[in-house]
Amino acid sequence: MPNISPIPAFNDNYIWLISNGNSAAVVDPGDAAPVARALAERSLTLDAILITHHHRDHTGGVKALLARWPEARLYAPAAEPMPAASGTALQEGDRLTLPSLGLELEVMAVPGHTLGHIAYHGQGLLFCGDTLFSGGCGRLFEGTPQQMHLSLSRLAALPEDTKVYCTHEYTQANLAFCHAVEPNNPELKKYLQNVAKLRQQGLPTLPSSIGLENAVNVFLRAHVPGVRAAAQHHAMAELNGDAEVFAALRRWKDDF
């Protein structure tokens, strides 16, 4: 298995560096400089760039990285503007093989945060961009709550031991919201303490796992009676179905 480590960028972004021997791929390089530094420190050649969606903090470094490593292949969502002309457009069900990294990934369409957002999964790994965060999910800039709920439900159905590589360090703030919704969730209480310790030491809280997110992340738990009750209480309305509960949670979080 390749080695995977976060390259911090901007205030709270992580650019994931996947490496094996001399080769590397990066996911969502919003900034080229920290990536170039990390590659130089480790004497790595950039073989591939994977993009999950079109936002600038995920694509801003693409052109500079391709200028420096012209052999690197670029993969990005088919339904969004390609960040550089040489890219390969990917959609639901496409497979992508990175032989130098021993990695084969499958593409899932996960609309909601943006309409063309894709995620990459395979070999127990999930690179989900701004769709799923630890304890949270992306804001609905382009999609509907129904679309995002379906996208998250599909991610939640991946094997429980799948490692989740999100692109922002939002965990602590997200968990404060989860705790407001589910104050008596014992798994959440445990996780809150672990995350507080990691952040005190300045360490990343990621990757998470699908099993952990299913246990603590209220945006994956709209079907849980206590979560539904809390959402109904906050919305002061009866909510019909999990997608409506999800929509109410998302609105609640937007003002939290």
Q: Which stretch binds Zn ion (CB under 5 A): 22-30, 52-60, 87-95, 246-254?
A: 52-60
213 touches Zn ion (CB under 5 A) = no
Alpha-carbon gap, residue 99 to 86, rounded angstroms: 19
Closest distance to Zn ion from the beta carbon of 57 (Å): 7
The answer to whether 52 and 28 are in contact (CB under 8 A) is: yes
80 touches Zn ion (CB under 5 A) = no
When the beta carbons of 57 and 213 are compared against Zn ion, the nearer one is: 57
Q: Which stretch binds Zn ion (CB under 5 A): 50-58, 196-204, 215-223, 235-243?
A: 50-58
- Of residues 31, 38, 33, 37, the one with CA closest to residue 12: 31
When the beta carbons of 44 and 132 are compared against Zn ion, the nearer one is: 132
Q: How many residues does the chain have?
A: 256
Closest distance to Zn ion from the beta carbon of 117 (Å): 8
55 touches Zn ion (CB under 5 A) = yes
Q: Tell me the CA end-to-end span of the chain in Å, nearest whole number.
A: 39
When the beta carbons of 15 and 231 are compared against Zn ion, the nearer one is: 15
User: How many residues lie near Zn ion (CB under 5 A)?
Assistant: 2
Annotated binding site for Zn(2+): 53, 55, 57-58, 113, 130, 168
Q: Please select the residue that binds Zn ion; options are 28, 130, 169, 244, rule is CB under 5 A.
A: 130
Closest distance to Zn ion from the beta carbon of 54 (Å): 8
- Binding residues (CB under 5 A) for Zn ion: these are 55, 130
